[in-house]
Chain A
């Protein structure tokens, strides 16, 4: 018995060592630009779980850093944390990286400090930390806690609104646009005026998409005088693509022609189902339009390239301390938007081209109205409540 325990311990030890050494060499991928004269800014990007080849959220941040590196001759490093974000933050700060972007949703150790430890932001006062997607850096009264932390937020509710408007317009004209050869849309009088939404978890970060989307659907539905049903599931998780696929299947069976998913890999399952059923899906975070060509209508994207480049630029100019501690990138800034629709445009049939141009013009108009404030979209992420009575033309099931 004792021998077994020793063996087991030995195995565990060996495993830990292997894991440790893998972390040491495999966990970080280094891309150093040639250091030109001038700036002593060193930029680090901590990727979220999706990794730096996600064709979007992480990748565009890396591109932003690359662009800044080429332009200003700074050094940058991309890290995919294998032992947790706090450790990565600390070791990067130790290594002298003075602008660190954290794309992962893990801010506790940075702002509050975990396990009685000092907050990391306090330990490295000369390093600027950038939190993306949330503003954890404020106390109950909304006051900034650490001066060396910048929060970056995206107005995805506005982009979702545009996606919603597009959904209604495409759904009303689905057969004109796409024909019936490769597609199998449910006609409007047969339950086809319904839309599905699949979210990974029930939090403000997800509902912000859903509420904006509902309001967008409602906006165009009200104009056309039609009524839509809205099916939503907020607990699909982020990894189980097969479940995503079957949930989308039930929505499509129910008559929905378009399903919007904000749920990581689960959304890939939805897109696969869309192809199987001959209907449409809307993706999120990255431009995934070419994932199932012709069956992904558009993607709601957070273009992290814009804020990464902006912040690095200010850092190089030495003005980073003067920037707002909470920055919101809106539809107008180009950082939160839907894709340019170029992929789906290839699948519009000739007889639908005119209608498609009409729809694109209307979408442009919607975007302008959001930018100039004519249309105000509910922003769940900043704590705004969704008021269903303002969307009389959408029935949330």
Chain B
């Protein structure tokens, strides 16, 4: 029971940042500007929040600074990719490379190996819900997490509503599916693309804050460790649908949690669990692609 409890708790722990990246990324995905800079933006959120907290001692200021700077990266990405029509993959790659480099540079100037916060503790951020906390199983899922983790799960529903039940969501999808018709309808397509990217940047900032400040009260170099790319894979598998994509994100959380928790019993072999999501994703992507094109009989059909 103890084990199951900690598996569930760690699942939520590891899912939250990936879910945030997923719900941030799907709008850009639907608007046809693939944001591969999720990783870099998340790292920026992680770095700036801890850095500002370290320098000023104010958590609120840290959160605001992290969000604002990440939105600036979003603006850089949008300006170059949308206004200047640059290649979004290259720009995204650029951001993914420059953010960790800036972080390392600042650490080097400050002569630190990592930033570890002493005046706030991880326990300060946890919200223990009385009553629910002691219920077995459910307690581990629902109670004892920091604020942004809850926001991540609420965010899934919010993203689904925003995507399917609002005018904004419809416009974003129209812009992505057929930009010419969107223009013919008089939509300002660039505006929707900008907003889609900025929503992504905002969510990535939260993901970063969650990962570094809330969960660890510290920043270490490259601490995002590929979570942004996992989110992109999840978005592709879920075809940009908020709930499905988030489920793939949770799948990663489950696998990581199993790998971590079962290492006590299975030893190093527990690391095998880390491979499961990748196997599933490759299989899903292959099947999806096969189903999509299996009835296409035209010779020389261009798959675009």
A, B: real partners = yes
Q: List, in ascending order, chain A residues with CB within 8 A of B270's CB.
A: 233
Contact: A272 with B112, CB < 8 Å? no
A232-B268, A265-B114, A291-B116 known; A240 vs B94 contact (CB < 8 Å): no
| Range of interface residues on A (Cβ < 8 Å) | 35 or more
A53–B223 touching, CB < 8 Å: no
**Chain A contacts of B32 at CB under 8 A?**
none
For residue A250, CB closer than 8 A to chain B, the reply is yes
Partner of A397, one of B118, B123, B267, B271: B267
Stretch touching chain B among A4-12, A32-40, A308-316:
A4-12
B-contacting residues, A48-66, CB 8 Å: 50-56
Q: Which residues of the partner chain B approach A271 to less than 8 Å between Cβ atoms?
A: 116
Task: Say yes or no: is A391 at the interface (Cβ < 8 Å to chain B).
Answer: no
Segment among A85-93, A241-249, A371-379 that sits at the interface with chain B: A241-249
Say yes or no: is B127 at the interface (Cβ < 8 Å to chain A): no
Task: Tell which of B90, B111, B215, B218 touches A8, judged by Cβ atoms closer than 8 Å.
Answer: B90
Kindly list chain A residues whose C-beta atoms are within 8 Å of the C-beta of B261: 250
**B77-114 toward A: CB 8 Å interface, digit per residue (1/0)?**
00000000111001101100100000011011001111
Q: What's the nearest-Cβ distance from chain A to residue B165, in Å?
A: 34
A292 x B116 contact (CB < 8 A):
yes
Q: Is B112 touching A53 in the complex (CB atoms < 8 A)?
A: yes
Is A239 among interface residues, defined by CB-CB distance under 8 A? yes
Whether B86 contacts A246 by the Cβ 8 Å rule is: no
Q: Among A4, A51, A55, A245, point to the contact of B108 (Cβ < 8 A).
A: A51
The residue of chain B having its C-beta at the shortest distance from the C-beta of A3 within the complex is B85
Known: A240-B223, A269-B220. Contact between A246 and B13, CB under 8 A? yes
B268 with A233: CB separation less than 8 A: yes
Q: Are B263's CB and A233's CB within 8 A?
A: yes
Q: A7-B86, A53-B111, A239-B223 are in contact. Are A232 and B267 (CB under 8 A)?
A: yes
* A265-B123 in contact (CB<8A): no
Contact indicator B218/A268 (Cβ below 8 Å): yes
Whether A53 contacts B116 in the complex (CB less than 8 A), given A246-B13, A250-B261, comes out as: no
Q: Does B265 contact A (CB under 8 A)?
A: yes
Complex CA gap A119/B298 in Å reads 55
B225 on the A face (CB < 8 A) = yes
Residues of B near A268 (CB, < 8 A) are: 113-114, 116, 218, 220
Knowing A240-B223, A249-B6, A397-B264, say if A54 contacts B113 (CB, 8 Å): yes
Contact pattern, B 189-225, Cβ under 8 Å of A = 1, otherwise 0 = 0000000000000000000000100011110111101
A235 touches B268 (CB 8 A): yes
Which A residues touch B91, using CB under 8 A? 11
Does B53 reach chain A (CB closer than 8 Å)?
Answer: no
Whole-angstrom CA separation of A11 from B91 in the bound complex: 8
**Is B119 in the interface zone, CB < 8 Å from A?**
no
Q: Do A247 and B218 touch across chains, with their CB atoms under 8 A apart?
A: no
Contact yes or no, A276 B121, CB < 8 A: yes
Given the known interface contacts A202-B268, A272-B217, the answer about A239 and B222 at a Cβ–Cβ threshold of 8 Å is yes
Q: Does B39 contact A (CB under 8 A)?
A: no
- CB of B295 closer than 8 Å to a CB of A: no
- A72 contacts chain B at the CB level, 8 A cutoff: no
* A237→B225 contact, CB < 8 A: yes
Residue from B90, B108, B122, B257 in contact with A12 in the complex, judged by beta carbons closer than 8 Å: B90
The reply on B145 being an interface residue by CB < 8 A is: no
Are A243 and B260 within 8 A (Cβ)? yes
Q: Which applies to chain B's interface (DSSP): helix, strand, loop or mixed?
A: helix
Residue on A nearest B89 in the bound complex, by CB: A8
Q: How far is the CB of B56 from chain A (nearest CB, A)?
A: 20
On whether the beta carbons of B90 and A247 are closer than 8 Å, the reply is: no
B114:A242 contact, CB within 8 angstroms: no
What's the nearest-Cβ distance from chain A to residue B137, in Å?
16
Q: Is A124 an interface residue (CB 8 A)?
A: no
A292 to chain B, nearest CB (A): 6
> Is A231 in the interface zone, CB < 8 Å from B?
yes
Complex Cα distance A241/B211, Å? 9
Question: Which A residues touch B268, using CB under 8 A?
Answer: 202, 232-235
Contact residues of A between 257 and 305, Cβ < 8 Å to B: 265, 268-269, 271-272, 275-276, 286, 288, 291-293
In the bound complex, residues from chain B placing their C-beta under 8 Å from that of A349 are none
Once the chains bind, are B113 and A50 in contact (CB under 8 Å)?
yes
A76, B198: Cα distance in complex, Å = 47
Whether A243 and B220, one on each chain, are in contact in the complex, defined by CB atoms closer than 8 angstroms, is: no
Q: Is A55 within 8 A of B211, CB to CB?
A: no
Indicate whether A242 sits within 8 Å of B271 (C-beta atoms), given known contacts A249-B6, A268-B116, A275-B121: no
Contact B222 A265 (CB under 8 A): yes
Q: How far is the CA of A56 from the CA of B112 in the complex (A)?
A: 11
Q: Does A254 contact B (CB under 8 A)?
A: yes
In the docked arrangement, what's the CA distance between A164 and B261, Å?
24
A-chain residues with CB within 8 Å of residue B211 when the two chains form the complex: 242
Q: Please tell me if the beta carbons of B6 and A253 are within 8 angstroms of each other in the complex.
A: yes
CB distance from A206 to the nearest CB of B (A): 11
A198 to chain B: closest residue by CB: B263
Instruction: Give the contacting residue for A242; candidates B85, B105, B215, B263; CB below 8 A.
Output: B215
Question: Does A15 belong to the interface (CB within 8 Å)?
Answer: yes
Contact B263 A265 (CB under 8 A): no
**Considering the chains assembled together, what is the distance between the CA atoms of A202 and B270 in angstroms?**
13
Given A265-B221, A276-B123, check contact A245 B216 (CB 8 Å).
yes
The 9 A-B pairs at the shortest CB distance, nearest first, are namely: A240-B225, A265-B220, A235-B271, A11-B90, A276-B122, A241-B220, A239-B222, A233-B263, A8-B87
Q: List 28 A-B contacts (CB under 8 A).
A: A8-B87, A8-B90, A11-B86, A15-B93, A15-B94, A53-B108, A54-B113, A232-B268, A233-B263, A233-B271, A235-B271, A239-B220, A239-B222, A239-B225, A242-B13, A242-B14, A242-B215, A245-B215, A246-B13, A246-B260, A247-B263, A250-B6, A265-B114, A265-B223, A268-B116, A272-B116, A272-B122, A276-B122
Given A233-B270, A250-B264, A291-B116, 20 other A-B residues pairs in contact with their CB atoms under 8 A:
A4-B87, A7-B85, A7-B86, A8-B90, A50-B113, A51-B104, A53-B111, A232-B267, A233-B263, A239-B225, A242-B216, A242-B223, A242-B225, A246-B10, A246-B14, A246-B256, A250-B260, A265-B223, A269-B220, A272-B216
